Amino acid sequence: MPLFASSDRPKSISLAVLLICANVVLLVLFWVLAPAEVKSNGGQVLGIVFWCWMAWACAFGHGWCRWFVLVALVAFAVGVYNSGMVHAWGDALDQLARHSDPVTTTTKAMGVVIAALLFLPTSRRWFRQHRVSRGVQPDEADSPRS
């Protein structure tokens, strides 16, 4: 199955995989072109590995990847809120834009779009079909966790 396009894959999944790969490219380019701006090399490597893993998992029908993306975004949002630079959730985006580099802001915004694409009804159905095709019992595939 190709990474970016497949005859049975919904466009929302293909677009999500494409955006995930764009995130990886942005992170790598930022690391190579502006290494002094990278706050943590380990964090950058972890981010690159995470997004590569999510691209693979998403492209091959592993529905758990959307939960990982969502948890990562929530963890980032909580981290921003707890950093002390935000006094209310309404300030979060403004403060993020002021105190963060453009690549971080862009990749996080893309992450929100990716999560939205992965939770669309067509995406959920496709992930459920792939779970069933891997041998998960139909009653388990119909559970709310899908």
SS (H, E, C) 41-91: HHHHHHHHHHHHHHHHHHHCCCCHHHHHHHHHHHHHHHHHHHCCCCCCHHH
Let me know: does 92 contact 79? Beta carbons within 8 Å: no
Tell whether the model's pLDDT for residue 17 goes beyond 90.
yes
pLDDT greater than 50 at residue 127: yes
Percent of the chain with pLDDT over 90: 36
Q: How far is it, in rounded angstroms, from Cα 76 to Cα 80?
A: 6
122 has a pLDDT exceeding 70: yes
**What is the pLDDT averaged over residues 37-63?**
88
- 111 versus 84: which is more confidently predicted? 111
